[in-house]
Amino acid sequence: MERFITAAIVGTEQSGDTALTTGTRIDELSSQLSEGGKERQLLLTAAAWGAYQNAGHLAESAPELPSPAQPEPQNWHPLQRPQILETLLAHKETTLLQEALGYMQERRCRVPYDLLPAFLETVTKGKELREQVLPLLGERGRWLSQYNPKWNWVNELSTEASAIAPEQLEATWQEGTLKQRVEALRQQRLLDPASARQWLQQGWKKERADTRAPLLEALALKLSPEDEDFLEKALDDRSEQVRMVAVRLLAMLPGSAFMQRMHAHADALLRYQNGKISIRRPDALDKSWVRDGLINKVENASGINDACQRALEHLPFAYWEERFSLSPDQLLMAIENKTWQHVLFTVLCRQAARERHITGISSLLTFWREAEPDKRREERSVEAARLISCLPQPQAEDIAREMFQRNFASYTLGLHILPCPWSHDIGMFYLDWAREAAHNFPTEAGGGSERLRPSLARAALALPPSCFQLALQDWDLPELPEKYEYSTYYEHQQTKNSINQFLEILHLRKTIVEEIG
C-alpha cells in the first residue's frame, strides 16, 4: 500500500513505477482497465487492494486454555447467604470482617465464586487478614489468584503452609526464595539443630544484610547452648537488625555469657540495705554496652538510664525474689528514688507479662492501684494494661469492673485490653452502666457521657451475642432542656452519634451471627 500512496503523491509520471502490482488476482482486474489512463488504474487498484486487506485474515491460533481449578473438598461448602459478606467487604471496620471469617471457618464455609475477585482485592489491602482467609478461598480462589500479580501472596502463603519434603530441604535452602529458605532452615532445625546451624554458618558471609536477620531468627527453634558461640559472633555484625536478633536469642539462654553480663550490671546497679534499695548508676559506659545492644553510642551519657533499664529487662522475673526476697510490690516500695521506682515498675511489668507470671502480675497490679497519683500515672497504666491482658479472662474482667465502680482515671484502658468477646456478665454490667450514663445526661456529675462515648466503640465490637437483645433496645438519651450551653449541645450530639454508630455495628454483628454463625 505504501507504493500506491507514494505514487499518488509524487505523480504517476514522476514515480517511475509503471507496473504497480499486488501479487493477487487484483492485478488481473486492473490489467483490464483500458480507459482513464494510468492515474485511474492506480487509484482503482489501490482501492481494491485496501478493500482486499481489510476484508479479513487468518485467525490467530487460540491460546492454550489454562488448566482448571482442582475440585473443592467435599467437607467445605459455599456460603449460602453471601449478602452480609458482600456488605462487610465494603465496610471500613475490618474487625467485623474478621468476626465473620471466624464463623465461616468454624462452619467450613468458603467464599462464593462470584465474590472471589472483590474478596481478594479487600484482603490484599488488609494484610492482617491474609492467613485467616487462606482456607476460605477454596481451590477456585487459589486458582484465580495466579492471574493477578497483586494476589501472589496467596501462593506464597500456600507454599509456606505446606511442609517441604525432607529430601528437598537442602536444595530449597540453596536455591529457594528467602521465605522458602527460612522455612527450609526451620524444618531442618527441628530435624537436626546442629546441621541447620552449620548450613547458616557456611554461607553466613555471603548472605546479604537484609537476609541474615530472618535466617538467624530460625535458631530460636530448639535453641541450645551449642548455638551461643555463633550468636556471640553475630553481636559484631554490621547490621543492627542482626545484632538485635542475636541479643534476643542470647537472652533466652540463661547460662550464656550475655546473661552473665546482664546479671553483673544489675548487681552493680542495685544495693539493698536496711530495708531500702538504692541505685548506683554508672558514670560512664564502655563499648561492651554498645555491643550488647544496650546503647547506640558510648558518648550518649543521657542514655545511661535507658541502657540500665534495657539490661534489667533481660533478667528473668525470678531474679528479683531470689536476690531480695521481696514480692514485686514490696520491692517497689523499698526504692526511695521515684524515677527509678518507675523504671523498675516498667521492667517488672514487662518481665511478668513476657513470662505470664500470674502471682507477680497480681502483686504489680496491687502496687499500681495503690500508688499515689503523679505525672507518670498514665505511663504506669499502659504497662498495667499489658499485665491485665495476660490474666485469665474472669480475673481481668473483675479488675475492669472494679475500675468502673471506682471511677478510676484510666477506666477505658481496662475495656480495651479485655479479650473479645467479653463474657455475658461483663457485657451486662457494661450495658447497665452505659444505659444509666445515657439516661442521666447531662445532669450526671463527673461527666458520665464523656466516659460513655469512648467506651461505646469498643463495646460494639466486644459485646457477646447474648447481650445483643438488650443492647439493641431503645436508648433513653434525654432531649436537651429549653436553655442550654453550646458545649452541652455539642456533647449531646456527640453522644447521640456515638450511640447510633454503636447500634449500627451491633446490627451488623447480629446479622453476621444469624446468617453465618
Per-residue pLDDT, 25: 73
Per-residue pLDDT, 10: 61
Residues 259 and 387 in one domain: yes
493 pLDDT higher than 90: no
231 pLDDT higher than 80: yes
Residues 421 and 437 in one domain: yes
Of 517 and 194, the one with more pLDDT: 194
Full 3-state SS string of 326-393: CCHHHHHHCECCHHHHHHHHHHHHHHHHHHCCHHHHHHHHHHHHHCCCCCCHHHHHHHHHHHHHHCCH
Of 481 and 435, the one with more pLDDT: 435
14 pLDDT higher than 70: no
Q: What is the DSSP letter of 78?
A: E
Cβ distance 7 to 17 under 8 Å?
Answer: yes
Residues 92 and 50 in one domain: no
Establish if 150 belongs to a structural domain. yes
246 pLDDT higher than 70: yes
Of 439 and 14, the one with more pLDDT: 439
Establish if 285 belongs to a structural domain. yes
Band of the pLDDT at 511, cuts 50, 70, 90? very high
Q: Which helix (H) or strand (E) holds 272?
A: strand 270-273
445 pLDDT higher than 60: no
Residues 363 and 434 in one domain: no
Per-residue pLDDT, 48: 79
36, three cell numbers: 482513464
Per-residue pLDDT, 348: 97
Per-residue pLDDT, 162: 67
Per-residue pLDDT, 63: 81
Average confidence (pLDDT) over 84-88: 92
Establish if 111 belongs to a structural domain. yes
Establish if 15 belongs to a structural domain. yes
**3-class state of residue 117 by DSSP:** helix
Band of the pLDDT at 87, cuts 50, 70, 90? very high
Establish if 72 belongs to a structural domain. no
Share of the chain above pLDDT 90, in %: 57
Per-residue pLDDT, 350: 95
Residues 387 and 338 in one domain: yes
As for how many domains the chain has, the answer is 5
Interstrand relation of 77-78 and 276-279 (parallel, antiparallel or unpaired)? unpaired
Q: Rounded to whole angstroms, how far apart are CA atoms 470 and 433? A: 13
Per-residue pLDDT, 359: 95
Q: Which residues contact 494 (CB under 8 A, 6 or more apart)?
A: 449, 453
Interstrand relation of 77-78 and 109-110 (parallel, antiparallel or unpaired)? parallel
Produce one character per residue of 377-414: b if its CB has 16 or more CB atoms within 10 Å, e if not: eeebbebbbebbebbeeeebbebbbebbeeebebbbbb
Band of the pLDDT at 47, cuts 50, 70, 90? confident
Q: Rounded to whole angstroms, how far apart are CA atoms 397 and 420? A: 11
Band of the pLDDT at 422, cuts 50, 70, 90? very high
Sole residue written with cell 564502655: 286
Q: Which amino acid is at 45?
A: T
Establish if 405 belongs to a structural domain. no
Which among 459, 341, 452, 362 has a CA at the least distance from the CA of 407? 452
Sole residue written with cell 495466579: 146
Residues 246 and 269 in one domain: no
Q: Which of 54-58, 87-91, 277-281, 417-421 has the lowest mean pLDDT?
A: 54-58
Residues 273 and 210 in one domain: no
Q: Which of 5-19, 251-265, 321-335 has the lowest mean pLDDT?
A: 5-19
Band of the pLDDT at 414, cuts 50, 70, 90? low
Of 253 and 45, the one with more pLDDT: 253
Residues 258 and 387 in one domain: yes
Average confidence (pLDDT) over 128-139: 90
43 pLDDT higher than 90: no
Q: Which amino acid is at 157?
A: L
146 pLDDT higher than 50: yes
Mean pLDDT of the chain: 87
Range of the domain at 85: 77-161
Residues 435 and 496 in one domain: yes
Residues 331 and 258 in one domain: yes
> What is the torsional sign of CA 323, 327, 329, 333?
negative
Of 405 and 498, the one with more pLDDT: 498
446 pLDDT higher than 50: no
Average confidence (pLDDT) over 368-388: 87
Per-residue pLDDT, 12: 63
pTM across the whole model: 0.74
155, three cell numbers: 501462593
Establish if 496 belongs to a structural domain. yes
Residues 422 and 510 in one domain: yes
Per-residue pLDDT, 298: 64
Establish if 283 belongs to a structural domain. yes
Residues 154 and 199 in one domain: no
Q: Which residues contact 116 (CB under 8 A, 6 or more apart)?
A: 137, 140, 141, 144
Of 374 and 36, the one with more pLDDT: 374
Which among 268, 248, 267 has a CA at the least distance from the CA of 256? 248
Of 13 and 514, the one with more pLDDT: 514
- The residue among 161, 193, 211 that closes a domain is 161
Per-residue pLDDT, 127: 82
- The residue among 161, 194, 223 that closes a domain is 161
Phi then psi dihedrals of residue 77, to 5 deg: -135, 155
Per-residue pLDDT, 119: 94
